Amino acid sequence: MRKGFTLIELIVVIIIVGILASVGMTQYTKVVEKGRAAEARLILGSLRSAEIAENMENGAYATVANLGVSAPSACTTTHYFSYSCSAATGTCTATRCTAGGKTPQGAAAYTKTVDVNGTWGGSAGY
C-alpha cells in the first residue's frame, strides 16, 4: 500500500487555505485602517482642546489655520486625513484622503468629527 495524499485531498487543502487567507486579509486591512484612523482621533482631540482654549481667550472659535495645531487643511503626503474646523460651532472634522494624501490612499472617503463638548461622530468607516 502506498503512503501519501491523493490529488483530491491536496486540492481540498489548497481551497481551505485560500479561503482562510482571503478572510484573514480582509480582517487585516480593517485593523490597519483602524490604526490609521487613530491619527484622526489624536489630531481631532488636539484641535478640540485648542478650540476650547480659543473660545476661553477670545470668546469665539477659530479655523484650523488659526489654532496653532499641526493639522493639514488639505491632503498632504504626511497625513492620511485632511482637517477642518467650523469657526461658528467649534466642531472639527477629519476627512480620509482618497487622493493626494499619505500612501496608501483610502479606498473610500469617510469622516470623523468631534465638537467642543467631546461628542464624537462621523460617517461610516473606521
Give the separation between CA 66 and CA 80, rounded to whole angstroms.
21
Dump pLDDT digits (tens) for 50-94: 999 999 999 999 999 889 888 999 999 999 999 999 999 999 999
Predicted TM-score of the model (pTM): 0.78
Higher pLDDT, 15 or 26: 15
Domain annotation covers residue 63: yes
Q: Which domain holds residue 11?
A: 7-122
Write the pLDDT tens digit of every residue in 32-50: 888 888 999 999 999 999 9
In a domain, 1, yes or no: no
CB atoms closer than 10 angstroms to residue 115: 15
DSSP reduced 3-state for 122: strand
Which residue's entry shows cell 481551505? Answer: 16
The number of folded domains in the chain is 1
> Which pLDDT score is estimated for 34?
87
Quick check: is 2 in a domain? no
Average pLDDT score, the chain: 90
- Is residue 97 assigned to a domain? yes
